[in-house]
Structure 1
Amino acid sequence: MAAPLLSSLTEPGGDRPDALTVAGRACSREDLLGAAGAVAARIAGAPVAAVRATPTLETVAAVVGGLLAGVPVVPLPPDSGPAERDHILRDSGAALLLGGEDGDGGQAEPVPVDLTERAAWSEPEPEPDATAFILYTSGTTGAPKGALISRRAVAADLDGLADAWAWTAEDTLVHGLPLFHVHGLVLGVLGALRTGSRLVHTGRPTPEAYAAAGGSLYFGVPTVWGRVVRDESAARALSGARLLVSGSAPLPAPVFRGLERLTGRRPVERYGMTETLITVAARADGDRRPGYVGTPLPGIRTRVVAEDGADIGELEVSGPTLFDGYLNRPDATAASYAADGWFRTGDIAAIEPDGSHRIVGRASTDMIKSGGYRIGAGEVENALLDHPAVREAAVVGAPHEDLGQEIVAYVVADGVGEQDLIDFVAGQLSVHKRPRKVRFLEALPRNAMGKPQKKLLPPA
Structure 2
Amino acid sequence: MAPPGSEQQPMKRKMPGGPLNPVPEYRSIPEMLQASTSLYKDKPFLVEKSPDGIWTKLTYSEFSSTVDILAKALIGISERPVVGLTGSNSVEWATVFMATLRAGGIIVPIDKELPAAEIHTILHYTGASILFYDAQMPQDLQTSIHSKQIRGFQMRSQSKSGNSLESLLEAGVASNAAFPLVNGGDDIALISYTSGTMGAAKGVMLSHRNILSDLRQMLQAVALVHDEVFLSVLPMHHMYECVCGFLCPLCHGCTIYFCRGLRHVAEDLADTRATVILGVPLLWENMYRRIQGGIAARKGGMLKFRIGLAAASIAEMLGDRDARRKVFSPLHEKLGGRARFLISGGAGIDAAVVAGFRKMGMEMLQRYGLTECSPIVAVNRDTANRTGSVGPPLSEMQIRIENPDESGIGEIVVKGPNVMIGYHNAPEATAEVLSRDGWFHTGDFGYLDRDGFLFVTGRKKNVIVAKNGKNVYPEELEAKLCKSGLIQECMVFGKESELKGEEIWVIAFPNRDRLIEMAERQGKSLSEEFALDVVRREIASLNSSQAIYKRISNFILRETELPKTTAKKIKRTSTLREAGLGPVHSHKVISK
Alignment counterpart, residue 215 of structure 1, candidates 263, 271, 274: 274
Take 1:139 and 1:235, find their aligned partners in 2: how far apart are those partners? 42
Take 1:435 and 1:306, find their aligned partners in 2: how far apart are those partners? 27
How many residues align structurally?
458
Contact 1:365 1:454 in 2 (8 A): no
Take 1:266 and 1:427, find their aligned partners in 2: how far apart are those partners? 34
Contact 1:280 1:294 in 2 (8 A): yes
After TM superposition, the structure 1 stretch with the greater mean CA deviation from structure 2, 137-146 or 203-212, is: 137-146
C-alpha change, 1:365 and 1:217, in structure 2 (3 Å) is same
Take 1:46 and 1:58, find their aligned partners in 2: how far apart are those partners? 20
Contact 1:54 1:77 in 2 (8 A): no
Deviations 1:148-203 (A, max 9, x none): 10000111111111122212322111121112110222221111111111111213
Take 2:369 and 2:540, find their aligned partners in 1: how far apart are those partners? 34
C-alpha displacement of 1:273: 1.0
| Pairing 1:163–2:237 present | no
What is the aligned partner in structure 2 of residue 66 from structure 1? Answer: 100
Q: Secondary structure at the match of 1:103?
A: helix
C-alpha displacement of 1:100: 6.6
Take 1:328 and 1:242, find their aligned partners in 2: how far apart are those partners? 42
Q: Secondary structure at the match of 1:42?
A: helix
What is the aligned partner in structure 2 of residue 455 from structure 1? Answer: 573
- Aligned runs of 1:165-184 on 2, under 5 Å? 165-184=222-241
What is the aligned partner in structure 2 of residue 138 from structure 1? Answer: 195
| Pairing 1:113–2:174 present | no
C-alpha change, 1:207 and 1:430, in structure 2 (3 Å) is farther
Contact 1:368 1:407 in 2 (8 A): no
C-alpha displacement of 1:124: 4.3
C-alpha change, 1:340 and 1:17, in structure 2 (3 Å) is closer
- Aligned runs of 1:265-280 on 2, under 5 Å? 265-276=362-373, 277-280=375-378
C-alpha displacement of 1:229: 2.5
Q: Secondary structure at the match of 2:376?
A: strand
Contact 2:239 2:371 in 1 (8 A): yes
Which amino acid is 1:7 matched to? E
Contact 2:365 2:385 in 1 (8 A): no
Alignment counterpart, residue 228 of structure 1, candidates 287, 291, 310: 287
Take 2:571 and 2:431, find their aligned partners in 1: how far apart are those partners? 26
Q: Secondary structure at the match of 2:244?
A: helix
What is the TM-score when the length of structure 2 is the normalising length?
0.72
Q: Secondary structure at the match of 1:35?
A: helix
Alignment counterpart, residue 72 of structure 2, candidates 33, 41, 58: 41
C-alpha displacement of 1:338: 4.4
- Aligned runs of 1:43-442 on 2, under 5 Å? 43-44=74-75, 45-99=79-133, 103=143, 105=145, 106-111=148-153, 112-114=164-166, 124-138=181-195, 142-205=199-262, 206-232=265-291, 236=332, 237-238=334-335, 240-261=338-359, 263-276=360-373, 277-290=375-388, 292-306=389-403, 309=406, 311-338=408-435, 341-413=438-510, 414=515, 417-442=534-559
What is the aligned partner in structure 1 of residue 52 from structure 2? Answer: none
Aligned-CA RMSD value: 2.6
Which amino acid is 1:52 matched to? T
Take 2:197 and 2:449, find their aligned partners in 1: how far apart are those partners? 30
Tell me the percent identity.
27
Contact 1:55 1:179 in 2 (8 A): yes
What is the TM-score when the length of structure 1 is the normalising length?
0.91
C-alpha change, 1:445 and 1:122, in structure 2 (3 Å) is closer
After TM superposition, the structure 1 stretch with the greater mean CA deviation from structure 2, 134-143 or 265-274, is: 134-143
C-alpha change, 1:455 and 1:293, in structure 2 (3 Å) is same
Contact 2:103 2:179 in 1 (8 A): no
What is the aligned partner in structure 2 of residue 3 from structure 1? Answer: 26
Take 1:100 and 1:409, find their aligned partners in 2: how far apart are those partners? 38
Take 1:328 and 1:426, find their aligned partners in 2: how far apart are those partners? 47
Take 1:255 and 1:211, find their aligned partners in 2: how far apart are those partners? 21
C-alpha change, 1:204 and 1:347, in structure 2 (3 Å) is same
C-alpha displacement of 1:257: 4.2
Unaligned 5+ segments in structure 2 are: 1-8, 10-24, 50-54, 136-141, 154-163, 295-329, 516-530, 582-592
